[in-house]
Each structure stands twice: as structure tokens, then as C-alpha cells.
Structure 1
Amino acid sequence: MSHDTAWAAFGLGLAVSAAALAVLLLGTFAAVVSGHGHHRVVDAVWGAGFALVAAVGFALSAGEGDPTRRALLTACTVLWGGRLCLHLARRARGQGEDPRYARMLDRAPGSRAWYALRMVYLLQGALILLVSLPVQAGQYVAAPPDPALWAGVAVWSLGLFFEAVGDRQLARFKADPAHRGRVMDRGLWRYTRHPNYFGDFLVWWGLYLMSAATWPLAALALPAPLVMSYLLVFGSGKALLERQLAERPGYRAYAARTSGFLPLPPRTPRGGSGG
């Protein structure tokens, strides 16, 4: 297979992935505006979109990339995306509109629906297409499995552990009425204020390592984990959530003793004992 053919196949795969995402997100938008839900459902569709892109890439890259790399990238992305989709769908069940979207749409110039289409659905589709570049590009890497691939699997596995266990611990904590209004500071949350976001960070750097076997594709895919890292730390992840929690009773003390992102032993408050 020639180098030019590989790039042509990758370009076709990217176009088909974009079309598949458009169908998924426009269908979701149509269902919401017709009265069958709230815009918060798009958060669950985020994970499903990555799983869809991985499946499309796997189908179209048959005969192009290394079978082991293709299978691992697809399986890891579908497992991560499917788990996240189900987790967020369960969390949203029976709830009203997400306050983030309600506030944003209250400021919409003109039609709320068209503003939501542009600023929520189409923007999310563009981000999925960008962030999934390692998964898409890696499907067309013909090089056999290398140490970077297995290192990526290890990083991805650790990330999925932090994300899934952190989400589960938080859900169980919130389900107990005795914890209403309290700050979650147990389990993984004792070592980092955001084990789920830290896990997501590792997942995407792991997928990048799994795909980065050739320099052109590695360079092409590098913006993806960088953008995801920025969003998790400074954008819609850690930074946004901490602004919302800043005035919750006990949160400042929790933040003073607990690492903001990387898991670390709890700090001992000045003049007090550890905890």
C-alpha cells in the first residue's frame, strides 16, 4: 500500500465519521426540540459519539492498518465511550435541564433552539471529531505493535479505573440522604478533587500513545490530547466545577488539603492534624 493511499483512506474515514456524527447529533437535537427531553442529553451523547467514530474507523480501515492496533483502539474507545454514555444517562434520568445549558440559553440572541444547535450540538460534534483524531489516525497505522502501544494500553487502563471508580464512589455518596450538602472526600476523592477528570486525562493520552507509531500521524493527532487536557483542567471540567462548588460548606477546607488534579497524599492543614 502506498503512502498516498493511506492518507486518502484516512481522509475518507474522517469524512464518513463527520457525517455519522452529524446524523447522531442532529437526530438528538431534533428529538429534544420536539419535546422529548432536555439539552442535557447531549452530555451522554458525547461518549456515544466517540464510540461511533471508533466503530466507523474500524470498519473503513480494514486492510489498511495493523489488526491488533485497530482492535485495541476500537475496543478501548467503545468501552470508555459506552460506559460514560450510560453513566451520564442514568445520572440525568428524571432530572430537568442542566443549569449550565439553562443559563447559556437564557442569554441566547434570537432563537434558543438555533443557538443551542450552534453552541451545543455542532460545537460538540466538532470537538468529538478533533479529540478522536488519535483513534481515527491509529486505525491506519500499518506498523506492528510496539512498546508505545502497550504503554498506551496501560495508561488507558489506569485512566478508566480512576474515571469509573471515581464516578461510582461519587454516585454512592450522593445516594445517601445523610450526605446531602456535604463534600465528597472519600476513596479516590481523598487524593484528588477530580479523579474522574484525571482518569479522562489518562484515557486520552493512553489512546494517543496507542496510535503514535509513525511521525506524520503522531504529529497530526497531538492536538487532540492537548485540547482534551486543556478542557479538563481549564475549561468545562475542573475549573467550571470548582467555581460552582466554591461556596459549598466545607469545600474550601477540602480544597486546602486535597490535590486539585494529580492524585497525591492529603496535605496536613497548618496547625492541625492530617485527614
Structure 2
Amino acid sequence: MISGQSGWAAFGIIAVASLLFLAILHGVTMAIGHRIGRYNVVDVAWGLGFVGVAWLALILGPGDGLRRWLLAVLITVWGLRLSWHMYVKSAGKGEDPRYEELLSRGAGRDGESDPAGGHDLALVARKIFATQGISQWFVSLPIQVSAVVGPTHGVWFVVLVAGVALWVLGFGFEAVGDAQLRRFKADPANKGAIMDRGLWSWTRHPNYFGDSSMWWGLWLIAASSWPGVLTVLSPVAMTYFLVFATGARLLEQSMSKRPGYPEYQQRTSYFLPRPPRRTGSSVP
């Protein structure tokens, strides 16, 4: 557990350092996005931000070394893979429809617009970069808290092992789903078709499901030593972002306009994996 004032002071240092790091990261990323004319570069910074927080926690945290290293390694593997995937996916392409929709809604409601035809930088900062930076800091609280608490004891090792297992499951879903989609899009014969094979036949968003599973696994690792369990709202928030905020829900709004996607929605689960249905009934 967090022991006395020194433990809370260490947590405060990690929390402030993480917030400053994320502010700098997103400030630089926003400048890059403004220069190249698209703000989906924030997706590249998403994984890198968590990697930075994990290493700050590893370096600055006085807590259990084994758990700090475990979290740092798992998050680094996930974060670097995700950031590289997002870089390759977006390189040389236009803005992500999710962010176009988000900024268009914001400009229409707030009356903020750029006379040059782009988006007002204050709107961009608030709607995309500040939102994601604050979200990263909050979601990473299990990492920050875990870095200042003592070792996992006794039966709580079962919780830690379960967390690692859930992380492995989630990482597999995300990495395999991304690889399957990348191969599908690389085949010219699939141009204009809807990806409904492999993991994509079990859930319309295997990458988002995998991401959510990983963060619940990381929370379980943190929860294996008190008071890590109290950071449960962090994986709840991550799941909300992935399902309803900037993830699956926004993507569905644009994808539903493509031919064949409504039928895909009818036979394939929205988020949680399940065998595909071959009937006309809807799948929530």
C-alpha cells in the first residue's frame, strides 16, 4: 500500500510529471498536425503517450520493482506496435472521418471556424488534443498508482496473473485484427468490399475490443496490490472512449454509408466477440 507522506509525495511527482509529459507530447503533435494539414496524427501519439507515462512510473516510482517493470514492458510492447500501426495506416492519406465529424460538429455549435477554410486551433486543441491528453492521464492512473505501492502478496498473485492473461488476449485480438485488415486492404480484389473475415466476422471492432481487454488486464495487475483496485474508473473510461466516444461509434457513423455495411452490421456483433449470425435479425 502507499506508505505515509513519502508514498503520496512520490505519486504526486509521477502524476505531475505524466501530465507535463502528455501536455508537451500533444502540443508537439498538434503542431505537426497543423503543418501537414491533418490531425489524425494524434492517433500516433496515443500509444507513445502511455509508453512515456509507464517509463516515468518505472523510473520515478518507489514501489514494487517487479510490477513496475511488468507494466512498463507490457505497455511498451502495446504502445509502440499501436503507434507504428497508426503511422503506417495514416501516412500519405487525408484526415480521419472521425475527426472531421468531431471538428465539424464543434465548429457548427460553437461558431468557431478558420477563415482559411480549416479549423480554429483553439477548437482543435480542445476537441482533440486536450481531450486525448487528459484522457490518457486519467486512464494511466493504474500505472501511476501501482508504481508507488508495495509488492503483490499471497492469493493476489492470482489477480496479477489473470491481468497478464487478459492483456495477452486483448493484445492478440488487436494485433491479429489489425494484421487481417491490413492484408485484406492490400489485395486489389477486395477494393470497396467490407472486411468480414477472421476476427472481423466475430466482432465489427476486434481492435477496439482488444484494446479494452488489455486495459482491464493492466488494471487487474495494478489491483493486485492495494489501493490499485480504486483506479477501476480508468479502464471504465477507456472502454467508454473505445465504444462510444472517439472509437467505434464514430467509425460506425461513416462506415454505415458504405454499400454492404448495414448487412454486415446485421450479422456481426458490434463489440463483444460472438459467432456471426446468418439471419436477418440484428446483432447489438
* TM-score, normalisation: structure 2: 0.88
Partner of 1:18: 19
Which runs of structure 1 show a deviation greater than 6 angstroms over 4 or more consecutive aligned residues? Answer: none
Partner of 2:50: 50
Partner of 1:183: 194
- State the Cα distance separating 1:103 from its structure 2 match: 4.2
- State the Cα distance separating 1:184 from its structure 2 match: 0.5
| Alpha-carbon distance in 1 for matches of 2:100, 2:142 | 33
Question: Which residue identity is paired with 1:82?
Answer: L
| Alpha-carbon distance in 1 for matches of 2:240, 2:63 | 30
1:100 alignment partner, one of 98, 101, 104: 98
| Alpha-carbon distance in 2 for matches of 1:190, 1:103 | 27
Structure 1 segments unaligned to the other structure (5+ residues)? none
| Alpha-carbon distance in 2 for matches of 1:105, 1:235 | 13
| Alpha-carbon distance in 1 for matches of 2:166, 2:38 | 35
Q: Is the 8 A contact 1:163 1:200 kept in 2?
A: yes
Q: Is the 8 A contact 1:51 1:78 kept in 2?
A: yes
Question: Which residue identity is paired with 1:20?
Answer: F
Partner of 1:154: 165
| Alpha-carbon distance in 1 for matches of 2:263, 2:81 | 32
Q: Is the 8 A contact 1:212 1:218 kept in 2?
A: yes
Partner of 2:87: 89
Q: Is the 8 A contact 1:159 1:203 kept in 2?
A: yes
| Alpha-carbon distance in 2 for matches of 1:78, 1:176 | 31
| Alpha-carbon distance in 1 for matches of 2:215, 2:102 | 28
Bigger Cα displacement from structure 2, 187-196 vs 261-270: 261-270
| Alpha-carbon distance in 2 for matches of 1:98, 1:186 | 23
| Alpha-carbon distance in 1 for matches of 2:92, 2:161 | 41
Change (3 A) 1:32 1:247: closer
Bigger Cα displacement from structure 2, 234-243 vs 80-89: 234-243
Q: Is the 8 A contact 2:203 2:270 kept in 1?
A: yes
Bigger Cα displacement from structure 2, 210-219 vs 151-160: 210-219
1:136 alignment partner, one of 144, 150, 165: 144
- State the Cα distance separating 1:36 from its structure 2 match: 4.1
Describe how 1:215-254 pairs up with structure 2 within 5 A. Answer: 215-219=226-230, 221-254=231-264
Describe the SS at the equivalent of 1:262: coil
Partner of 2:117: none
Q: Could you report, residue by residue, the CA deviation over 1:45-89 in whole angstroms, capped at 9, with x for unpaired residues? A: 11110111111111101xx21111111111111111111100000
Change (3 A) 1:90 1:270: closer
| Alpha-carbon distance in 2 for matches of 1:72, 1:101 | 34
- State the Cα distance separating 1:251 from its structure 2 match: 1.6
Work out the percentage of aligned pairs sharing the same amino acid.
46
- State the Cα distance separating 1:41 from its structure 2 match: 0.7
Q: Could you report, residue by residue, the CA deviation over 1:162-206 in whole angstroms, capped at 9, with x for unpaired residues? A: 000001101111111211111111111111111111101100000
Report the aligned-residue RMSD.
1.9
* TM-score, normalisation: structure 1: 0.91
| Alpha-carbon distance in 1 for matches of 2:51, 2:24 | 14
Question: Which residue identity is paired with 2:150?
Answer: A
Change (3 A) 1:250 1:196: same
Question: Which residue identity is paired with 2:205?
Answer: H
Structure 2 segments unaligned to the other structure (5+ residues)? 115-119
Partner of 2:126: 118
Q: Is the 8 A contact 2:139 2:237 kept in 1?
A: yes
Partner of 1:197: 208
- State the Cα distance separating 1:213 from its structure 2 match: 2.5
Question: Which residue identity is paired with 1:241?
Answer: L
Question: Which residue identity is paired with 2:48?
Answer: A
Q: Is the 8 A contact 1:201 1:229 kept in 2?
A: yes
1:8 partnered with 2:18: no
Partner of 2:112: 109
Q: Is the 8 A contact 1:73 1:139 kept in 2?
A: no
| Alpha-carbon distance in 2 for matches of 1:243, 1:36 | 25
Partner of 1:173: 184
Change (3 A) 1:265 1:105: closer
Aligned pairs, number: 267
